[in-house]
Chains A and B, each alone.
Chain A
Amino acid sequence: MNIEQTDFYTQVILSMAALVGLTSFLMLGQGRLLRLIFVFALQGLLLTLTTALAAYSLDNPHLYISAVLTLVLKVIFIPWMLRRQVLLMNMHRDIEALHNKTAVMLGGASLMVFSYYVLHPIVQTTSPVMLNALAVSLSVVLLGMLLMISHRQAVAHVVGFMSIENGLFFAAIVATKGMPMVVELGIAFDVLVAAVLFGIFFLHIRTSIDSLDVDLLNRLNEVDK
C-alpha cells in the first residue's frame, strides 16, 4: 500500500512517528544536559499531540485525559524537575564529552534498521501503519537504552529511561487505539513515582561520590586500598 492511498490520519501518525524517532536521535547526540531535557520535553509534546489526534480521530474521549496526563507529566513536571536538579547541582555549564559520537549515531541508525528487521514478519498479519509505528517505537526503546549506555551522567540515564517509556507509550497509543483507562492511570503514576525515586537517588549518589557521573561509582571499594 502506498502512502498516497492512506487517509490523512495515517499520514499524520506516520509523520509523528518519524518525528518521535528524530527526537530520540537528537537526544542521543546531545552533550548538554539542559538541551537534552528540552528535547525530551519536545518528545513528550509530540506524544501528547499523537494521543490527542488518536482521541479525535477514533472518537475516544478518555484518550484526551491520557493526553492531558502526558502533557502534565512528561512535558511539564518531569522536565521541570530534572532541570531544577541540573541547575541546583550547577551542571548546566558542563558539556559531556561523548566517546566517539559518530559511531554512536551510526549505531543508532543500525538499531533502527534492526528493529524494522525484527518486526518485519508482523507485516503479514497486520496493517503497514501498525508495523511502522511499532518499529519506530521499538527503535525509540532501543535508542533510549543506547542513550543510557553511551552517556555517563545520571540525569542523562533518567532521560533515557523515560524515553524508553515514551516509546512503549507511543506503541500502545497507535497499536491498541487506546488502552483501558486503569492501565493508563497506572502507567502515569508509575512514571511519577519513578521520577520522584530518581530524585532521591540523585541525592544519594551525590552525597556518596559528590558527582552525578556514574563512572566514578567504579572507584567505590569495600576496603581501603
Chain B
Amino acid sequence: MNWLIAILQTTLFVVLAPLLAGWLKWCKCHLQNRKAPSLLQPYRDLIKLTRKQPVVSKQASWLFVIAPYIIFSATVLAASVVPLIAVDLPTSASADVIVMVGFFAFARFFLALAGLDIGTAFGGMGSSREMTISSLAEPAMLMAVFTLTMTASTTNLSGAIAHVVNEGLVLRPSFVFALFALILVAIAETGRVPVDNPSTHLELTMIHEAMILEYSGRHLALIEWASQLKLMLYGVLIANIFFPWGIAETFTGEALGYGLLTIMGKLVLLAIFLAIAETLVAKMRLFRVQEFLSFAYLLGLLGMLSHIILEASR
C-alpha cells in the first residue's frame, strides 16, 4: 500500500511537471502583455517531439543517444526522494537529501558529457559553463539544506519535514537565511532568468540550451521533461521545507487529497512569484554569476551560523 502511494507520488511529479512549466509561461506572458499559450502547451510540445524522428549526427557516440534516458531517469529517482503529498513513504526512507543532490550531479555529469560528445563549439561551451555554475551552486544548496537537517537532526527529507510540521509555527531566524539561499540556488540550478534564459538561443548567453542544441525528437523531449521536472522539484523543496503545512502524514484518501491540493496551491503561488521576479530582473553577465552564487553561499553560511548561535540549546 505504502509503495503504491510512493509510486503514485512519483507519477504525480512526472505528470504535473509540464503543467507547472505551462502555468509559469502563462503568468510570464500575461505580465509582459503577450498572448499566452494554453496551459497544456508543454504537453503538446512533448507529444509532438516524441512523434518526430530524432536526428543523430554520424560523429555521435552511444553516449549521446543514451544520455537523455539516463538524465530523465536520474531526475525521476531524485523526484521519488522528495515528499510531494505525503511524508514517511518507503522511497524517501531509503534515500536522504545528499543522495538527491547526488542524483542531480549524476544527471548533470551526463548532460555535460553529451554536450561535449558531439564536438560542436556550443556544446563544449555550454558544458563548461554548466559545470562552473554547478560547482558553485552545490555547496550553497547543501549549506541551506544542512540548516534544515541540523534543526531536525536527520538528513532524511521526509523526517525533517515531519519534524517541522509537528513542531507547529516556530519562527526560526536560520530558516529565513536558508530560504533565501535555496531560492537563489534554485534559480541558478534550474537556469531561470538572472543566470540563464530558458527561452532564448542567443549564443553568447545560453548555458543549458547550448548543451542540448544538437538534440531532437524524443531525446529532446526527455531532456526538456527532465528540466521541467527539476524546476518542479526545486519548487516542491522550497514549499515543503519552509511551508510544509498541509502535507499528509497519514495515508487516508482525504489527507492525501488535501496534501495534493495544498502543494498545488503553494506551487501556483511560487510560480507567480518566480514569473514576477523574471519579469522585473534583467539577465546578468555570465561573470557576475559567481557573485550571485557566492551571495547564496554566504546566506547559507549565515543560516547555519544563526542556527548554531541563536537557536541551539545551551
Tell me the A residues contacting B by CB distance below 8 Å.
1-4, 8, 11-12, 14-15, 17-19, 21-22, 25, 29, 101-102, 105-106, 109, 112-113, 116, 123, 128, 132, 135
Contact = CB atoms under 8 A, between A and B. Distances in A.
Nearest to B174: A18
A3 B172 CA distance: 8
8 contacts: A3-B311, A15-B173, A18-B306, A21-B306, A29-B295, A105-B298, A112-B302, A116-B309
B170 interface: yes
A109 B176 contact: no
A14 to B, nearest CB: 5
B301 interface: yes
Contact of B171 (A14, A112, A135): A14
Contacts of B302: 21-22, 25, 109, 112
A8 B172 CA distance: 11
Given A3-B311, A18-B176, A109-B302, A12 B171 contact: yes
A135 B295 contact: no
Nearest to A101: B291
A109 B171 contact: no
A38 B314 CA distance: 37
A217 B312 CA distance: 48
B110 to A, nearest CB: 31
Given A15-B173, A18-B173, A132-B309, 7 more contacts: A3-B172, A17-B173, A17-B310, A106-B298, A109-B305, A113-B305, A123-B314
Interface string B154-175: 0000000000000100111110
B134 interface: no
B64 interface: no
Contacts of A2: 311-313
Contact of B298 (A11, A12, A109, A135): A109
Interface string B279-307: 00000000000010011001101100110
B291 A102 contact: yes
A4 B167 contact: yes
A3 B291 CA distance: 33
Given A3-B310, A109-B301, A132-B309, A14 B173 contact: yes
Given A1-B314, A102-B291, A112-B302, A135 B309 contact: yes
Contacts of A113: 305
Nearest to B176: A18
Chain B interface residue count: which class? 20 to 34
B177 interface: yes
A36 to B, nearest CB: 15
B172 to A, nearest CB: 6
A15 B294 contact: no
A180 to B, nearest CB: 29
A128 B314 contact: yes
Nearest to B291: A101
Contacts of B170: 3-4, 11
Interface in B169-204: 170-174, 176-177, 180
A109 B305 CA distance: 9
Given A29-B295, A105-B294, A112-B305, A22 B167 contact: no
B176 A22 contact: yes
Nearest to B172: A3
Contacts of A128: 314
A15 B176 contact: yes
B184 to A, nearest CB: 12
Nearest to B303: A18
Contacts of B301: 109
A1 B313 contact: yes
Contact of B176 (A4, A19, A29): A19
Contacts of B177: 18, 22
A29 B313 CA distance: 32
A97 to B, nearest CB: 12
B160 to A, nearest CB: 15
Contacts of A4: 167, 170
A109 B299 CA distance: 10
Contacts of A102: 291, 294
